[in-house]
Amino acid sequence: MRGETTINTARPARPAKNPINWPMTLFMFSFHVGAVLAIFNFSWPALGTAVLLWWITGSLGIGIGYHRLLTHRGFKTPKYVEYFLTFCGALALEGGPIAWVATHRLHHANVERDGDPHSPRRGFWWSHMGWIVNGQSDHREVESKTSHVPDLAKDTFHLWISRWNFIPQIFLFAILYWVGGWPFVLWGICVRVVFSWHATCFVNSAAHVWGSRRFETNDDSRNNWWVALMTFGEGWHNNHHAHPASVRHGLAWYEIDINWIGIRALEKLGLATRLRLAGMPKRGESPDRDESLNEAA
């Protein structure tokens, strides 16, 4: 379908003054304290471990696994690969796949309107972390979210990891402490998790406020280069909202998209098939020229 896209400028109703979700807030605050303590327990091996785990959990887990595979089904992969990527995503401590995927599908279905879990039109802080701090999340929602993710809800592994997504972190804690003591724990868990939390939240907040727009989508999505660097390519957010199912978010040569490179590597290994792609648009071309790529999942 070609033609001009009307941008939705309506401001969704501000959320009610919900009380602070103290269990979640204290949980997140403790990790921020640990990240500060890491400054006084620095070592290069600990930093290297944090960077490696950042890629495993942030790129393989969240970007490729939770987002481009589970949420949008942008490619197909064997179940054991899907489960491995999901396990990596659970290590990011952003909740289980059912809650994460359901929230993101709701975002695409209601972007910048009532029903969008984290629109910046309700305030920048709300879109960044306010929706968690003043929300009902305990990172283990299953029953309340299954209607939005019927494909995951019928899978025993996804149900289990959604309920117990913090368990892998406990084993990682033990391994890191055994290998390198508290510096490895503080950097490999606290610094890495806090950085990844804010990086992902910047996709919801900053990438809907600052940056450029290649496509006139019916929302405020932006292509933001520094968010893309923090998230292995998720910051090319306007490209993504124009073509949600496309596994490639960085469309131009200068739009670095590490997650796309990872998916291409899986394809070369025979572990990813039926990749859904959007190419660079021609001048004046509508973003929805390929309707098959505009499906959220």
> In this predicted model, what pLDDT tens digit does every residue of 33-79 receive, in sequence order?
999 999 999 999 999 999 999 999 999 999 999 999 999 999 999 99
Q: What is the pLDDT, as a whole number, of residue 4?
A: 41
Round to whole Å and give the CA distance between 68 and 86. 11
Round to whole Å and give the CA distance between 283 and 16. 43
* Alpha-carbon distance values, 111 to 134, 141, 202 (Å): 20, 21, 16
Q: What is the pLDDT, as a whole number, of residue 68?
A: 98
Residue 12 is assigned to a structural domain of this protein: no
Q: How far is CA 146 from the centre of its chain?
A: 18
The answer to whether 188 and 46 are in contact (CB under 8 A) is yes
Q: What is the pLDDT, as a whole number, of residue 278?
A: 85
Q: What is the pLDDT, as a whole number, of residue 147?
A: 80
Residue 70 is assigned to a structural domain of this protein: yes
Residue 226 is assigned to a structural domain of this protein: yes
Residue 132 is assigned to a structural domain of this protein: yes
Q: What is the pLDDT, as a whole number, of residue 185?
A: 98
Residue 6 is assigned to a structural domain of this protein: no
Residue 84 is assigned to a structural domain of this protein: yes
Residue 169 is assigned to a structural domain of this protein: yes
| pLDDT beneath 50: ranges in the chain | 1-6, 283-297
Give the residue numbers spanning the domain of 152. 22-280+289-294
Which neighbouring-strand residues pair with 236? 223
Total number of domains in the chain: 1
Residue 215 is assigned to a structural domain of this protein: yes
